[in-house]
Chains A and B, each alone.
Chain A
Amino acid sequence: MSWRLTGALSALAMLGFAGTAAAEGELNIYNWGNYTNPDLIKKFEEAYKVKVTVTDYDSNSTALTKVKAGGHGFDIVVPSANYVPIFVQEGLLLESRPDQMANFKNVDAQWTDVPWDPGRHYTAPWQWGTTGVAVNTKVYSGDPNTSAIFMDPPAELVGKVNVVPEMNDVIGLAIMYVGGKPCTQDKDVLREVRDKLMAAKPKWQSMDYGMTEKMSNGDVMASVNWNGSTFRVRAKNPTVVYGYPKEGYVVWMDSVAVLKDAKNVENAKLFQNFIMDPENAALISAFARYANGIKGSEKYMPEDMKTAPEIVVPEQFKAAGTFLPTCPKEARDMYTAIWTELRK
């Protein structure tokens, strides 16, 4: 090889070894897949002259494992409510005090002080929603408002149901289906949960993510799914409906937290403040179609979200919604064991 070529390649190598490119500022966000509005990112990049990267994860467990393993390079993570205490306990979050930031006054009263982050010392609200089932009525015209869709699939749906691999949502729905209470440690209830899930599994088609696209495309006919995702599916594929399981469905909130070993702490804090602004919160909601926790964002949100059944919970189902709390460790261990068994 000629020396010039070697020289050029060495220069390239130096570039590579320099690690992250030399920009004014950087921010590495680790968020759920298909959950971040590119317009929001662009607005942030322009406002603060920061280069933003967004990396996907598909479940809280994946995020936790990756962050705990270290050396990930992320600054921001967006865990669900019941995982926030776990992240805090493991020493993974920075106490960035969103409650002291300028835009905190915009946060809805019901979200300013929550049991899983008292006083909001760690997290700023991102979006909140429900977990239920999405069904394509072309194949099944019965009642979609039940967890039996995946726990005991009706004949038309056998081999056509997907279950998203989000442990807490699925186990939560399953526990409520057999009549138990969330965070139960009752071995009989849990045994029933385990047995029912294992019996239902052969009737499922897959345990995968990306239902927003897959149900729009018709690759999947029914699935455990989140309300906003189903709303987006219905926009593309009008025969799909969202069901609120009457046995009990999950209410969740995702929040933005700064990681303790973040390299760009200042930019991360700026981002937390940024999303508590009503206009920006509306941008977040407009993309993924979930409610956000910021007052005053309604006037910026798209019209169809004001009346959609996925966003505005119908009266008869309001009572069945349960906000999943963080369960004690013994309960969590048992759920993990059940889930691991199911997952194989």
Chain B
Amino acid sequence: MASRVGAPAPPARAQRAGGAVELPQLRVRSRAPGEPRRVAYLYLAPAFLFYVVFAFVPLAYTAWLSFFDWDGLTVGTWTGLDNYDAILSDPGIRDSFVHAFELIVFYALLPVVLGLVLAAVIANGRVRGVTFFRAVLFLPQTIATVVVAIAWVWIYAPRGPLNEVLDAVGLDAVSRGWLGDFTYALPALGLVGTWVMFGLCLVLFLAGMQKIPQTLYEAARVDGAGRVREFFAVTLPGLRGELAVALTLTTIMALRTFDLIYVSTAGGPGTSTTVPSVLVYQNAFVNGRVGLAAAVAVVLTALIFAVAFAITRLVDRDPGR
């Protein structure tokens, strides 16, 4: 049931041609509108070549490296599963995965909720200038993460705008060097993620809402449903596909995040904002423990695949659309 929304309209000429032509004798084809198989592979080949060579081959290589103890400069030694042992036993490494999952709340759950709320507001509130609001709220997505990090380091600075606002409203007991605080640095960075992601979710849901047939809303109203009931009964189920996409994309961003952390806190203070991708970089290129870094990378990738699969299964129960 593919929707036509957003797809360019086919020109009239072809439609007429497609509809009116008288079919001459053709070889009977069992596949339609089938090109001979081989040609398709030719079209696929260059793309898949790049993809496999620069994605899967390195992934396999990373997995192979994870079984070694190597400093990247001299010869490495085989250590079997020792690196994976270290991941399980070292509290610092375990914590980094915990931090990544904590970030999911900020990067994925909050933005999805905000996106739903804002999309509902726009759809129901009969506001004009939707294009303007959408453009502004999506803007954070277009800013390079390095710039985002620099901007927010400034905002969270001991004498930065956030503390200034807090002091002004009398909350100066709360103001502090946010990114230097063991408890608050990670949530502070998480909120930056929320800021970046909520526009993405909003746009996704707005597009999705457009596709929900008006008839469903009318039917719900006839049944006496109020605004809220409408939302939960019609809108939310209709957005299932978009929800899956939004949750998947944002959750993976949470698990993968590197730029923001590296540029703002480099994983500190202590290890309170260290996440797996930072560990990969640190161990591979700073500490000279390439095998360990590779193992962390493998575990991270496996987690990402698992989470994406789980979300799709759970949320989008109709994958055959």
**Are A and B co-members of a single complex?**
no
Q: Which residues of B contact A (CB under 8 A)?
A: none
